[in-house]
């Protein structure tokens, strides 16, 4: 006998959209609970976990859902699980590799011609263990009020600035109402042409892509783009695809940057698979970053030689537009350094 398919109202997905803040609140903050959720025993790991990491653990459920149950080497789990290796002091790695400490004071970073980075918040939805900002104060403070007014004033006075990059932390940690206000203020600046959002939230909590957010982006006279941060093909799943489709539907140009990470994406097959999967959902690979040498992340680093080799293999196997630029950031340079 044929069973009836239940009728799901078209808008049922939309009803859940406002729950992204709840998903954020209930993120895993405890390594043991996280391990239990993915069915991995600590004894199966190649290293000891750190249950009291100074850079706290934070992993929302939708990201955990992408992990392979029972796999102690899961490439997503390894990105977020606090490890005792983070406490090792390794020569050549320091707390502020990009010399950005002053960022905790300022909300604007103007290093490159024509583009300014606006640090809207220091908070993130997920805590990536390799993050170069892992030693910065991760208080949930936001650049609103006086600081934002100062930043807007700075951009208004410098007509060489054509693009504002909303960054953090993660700019999508702000509410839609705050982002709308920022977009409105930016739209008042005559010489400004573009707004770019640098975010990992659509991967970590896909419900963050609300209809309201899409409308703010779509209705602004400023041309927007988004740079996502995806390191592994497994991060692209159906909930993410649905979220990203809403952004493609408003013709938002989508790019991706990854960080090369040992045991996570340091092989050509993985990187090729990532590029192909990105393109399948309308995202263009943009940068492949070398790890910033931040203390606590040395165990994620790979040699420059290996990185160059990987990049070369990608070029041999993919069309040019699917090969991200191998890049690194050097303090004091006028742009990111392209290595390939």
Q: Looking at residues 213 to 232 of the shown chain, list those that interact with ligand SF4 (rule: CB under 6 A).
A: 229
336 binds, among ligand SF4, ligand PLP, none (CB under 5 to 8 A by kind): ligand PLP
Q: Please state at what angle helix 176-187 crosses helix 211-219, rounded to 10 degrees.
A: 0
Piece of 128-136, 148-156, 268-276, 324-332 that binds ligand SF4 (CB under 6 A): 128-136
| Residue 106 interaction partner, one of ligand PLP, ligand SF4, none, beta carbon < 5-8 Å per kind | none
Q: Is 212 in the site for ligand PLP (CB under 6 A)?
A: no
Any idea what the Cα angle at residue 272 is, between residues 68 and 328, rounded to 5°?
100
Q: Which does 272 bind (CB under 5 to 8 A by kind): ligand PLP, ligand SF4, none?
A: none
Q: Are 122 and 74 in contact (CB under 8 A)?
A: no
CB of 27 to ligand PLP, least distance (A): 27
* 336 touches ligand PLP (CB under 6 A): yes
**From the CB of 257, what's the least distance to ligand PLP, in Å?**
8
Alpha helix positions (H), 65-200:
77-80, 146-157, 176-187
User: Is 111 a binder of ligand PLP (CB under 6 A)?
Assistant: yes
What would the x/- binding string for ligand PLP be over residues 304 to 333, using CB under 6 A? -------------------------x----
Question: Please, are residues 51 and 30 in contact by the beta-carbon 8 Å criterion?
Answer: yes
Under the criterion CB under 6 A, does residue 115 sit at the interface with ligand PLP?
A: yes
Q: Give helix then strand counts, H and E, for the chain.
A: 12, 9
**C-alpha–C-alpha distance, residues 35 and 192, integer Å:** 46
Based on the shown chain and the rule CB under 6 A, indicate whether residue 127 belongs to the binding site for ligand SF4.
yes
Segment lying near ligand PLP (by CB under 6 A), choices 34-42, 106-114, 176-184, 298-306? 106-114
- Distance CA(218)–CA(206), nearest Å, equals 19
CB-based contact 170:124 (threshold 8 Å): yes
Cβ neighbourhood burial of 22 (10 Å; 0-12, 13-18, 19+): exposed
β-bridge mates for residue 83, sequence order:
49
Between 28 and 132, name the residue whose CB sits nearer to ligand PLP.
132
Whole-Å CA distances, 4 to 1, 7, 8, 11, 12:
10, 9, 12, 20, 19
Binds 128: which of ligand SF4, ligand PLP, none (CB < 5-8 Å by kind)? ligand SF4
Contacting positions for ligand PLP (CB under 6 A): 109, 111-112, 115, 117, 165, 329, 335-336
């Amino acid at each position: 006998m044929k069973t009836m398919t239940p009728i799901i109202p078209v808008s049922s997905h939309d009803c859940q959209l406002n729950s992204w803040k709840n998903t954020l609140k209930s993120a895993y903050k405890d390594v043991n609970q996280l391990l239990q959720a993915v069915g991995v025993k600590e004894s199966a790991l190649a290293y000891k976990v750190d249950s009291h990491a100074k850079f706290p653990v934070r992993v929302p459920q939708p990201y955990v859902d992408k992990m392979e149950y029972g796999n102690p080497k899961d490439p997503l789990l390894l990105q977020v699980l606090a490890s005792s290796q983070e406490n090792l002091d390794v020569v050549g790695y320091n707390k502020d590799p990009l010399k950005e400490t002053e960022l905790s004071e300022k909300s604007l970073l103007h290093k490159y011609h024509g583009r300014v980075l606006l640090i809207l918040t220091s908070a993130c939805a997920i805590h990536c263990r390799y993050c170069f900002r892992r030693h910065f104060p991760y208080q949930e403070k936001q650049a609103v009020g006086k600081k934002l007014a100062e930043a807007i004033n700075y951009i208004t006075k410098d007509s060489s600035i054509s693009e504002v990059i909303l960054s953090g932390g993660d700019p999508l940690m702000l509410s839609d109402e705050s982002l709308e206000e920022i977009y409105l203020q930016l739209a008042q600046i005559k010489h400004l042409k573009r707004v770019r959002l640098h975010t990992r939230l659509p991967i970590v909590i896909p419900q963050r892509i609300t209809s309201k957010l899409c409308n703010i982006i779509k209705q602004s006279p400023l041309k927007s783009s988004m740079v996502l941060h995806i390191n592994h093909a497994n991060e692209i799943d159906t909930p993410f695809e649905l979220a990203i489709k809403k952004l493609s539907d408003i013709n938002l140009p989508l790019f991706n940057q990854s960080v090369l990470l040992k045991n996570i994406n340091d092989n050509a097959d993985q990187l090729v698979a990532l590029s192909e999967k990105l393109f399948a959902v309308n995202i263009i690979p943009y940068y492949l970053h070398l790890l910033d040498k931040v203390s606590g992340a040395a165990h994620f680093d790979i040699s420059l030689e290996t990185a160059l080799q990987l990049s070369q293999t990608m070029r041999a196997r993919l069309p040019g537009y699917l090969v991200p630029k191998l890049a690194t950031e050097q303090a004091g340079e006028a742009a990111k350094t392209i290595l390939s």
